Structure 1
Amino acid sequence: MKNSLIAITGVVAVLSVPAFAEDMPAMKMEAKTMAGMPMKQAAEQAPTAQATGTVKAIDSQKQVVTLAHGAVPALQWPPMTMGFKATAEQLKGVKVGDHVAFEFRADGMDATIVSIAPMQQ
């Protein structure tokens, strides 16, 4: 009997949490903010970082520039070679083999160039 009472009390407590949470304004506001946020706005809020690297490949059709870059301490990234999304306008100023300085916006391991320019050697 005692175990049944404990089990029933536990079930009631678990089932009442969602109802209780609906009455909490902070939780409602957070849910509405994230759900209503346009994808572009969410991407614009991703952190930005700066790095230098060497252009390894440019795919104008896919609008991707592959860069072998050094460590990015701001994001705790080690040196690596990876593709970055870039606009056709950004890709006009660089060619394979260029050593570049660039700023990018990172969302996990997806990265988008904000600016890129060849460095003088």
Structure 2
Amino acid sequence: MNTEAILEILLYKLEEGTGNEFHKIMVEQSIPLHEKEKMKVISYGQSLHNPDSYYLIREYENSKHLENSQRKFYSNSEWLNGPREQIISKIKTSTQSIIPKTSLEYL
């Protein structure tokens, strides 16, 4: 097990009534781009308590891998000319937490 591995947990509060459309964009456009760029998405989706609350969990080898992967992903023309604006326009607030993957080993 890579003891330097980290998880990035993103929590989004979406504009009211946009959760279902946001999820469709994630499934059809954003997640395939993540996969194409070899970004490891652990889980994503709407919260059980509110369809306009959303989460995205990604895994990285270490902090440097996170920085390099995201710089590459977010500067990619397929992202910039693809789902970027549709996604960003629906996010009201975003919270990011980075945790060591080992903190979840007993779950």
Structures share fold, TM-score greater than 0.5: no
TM-score by length of 1: 0.20
Select the structure of larger CA radius of gyration.
1
Higher relative contact order (CA 8 A, sep 6+): 2
TM-score by length of 2: 0.22
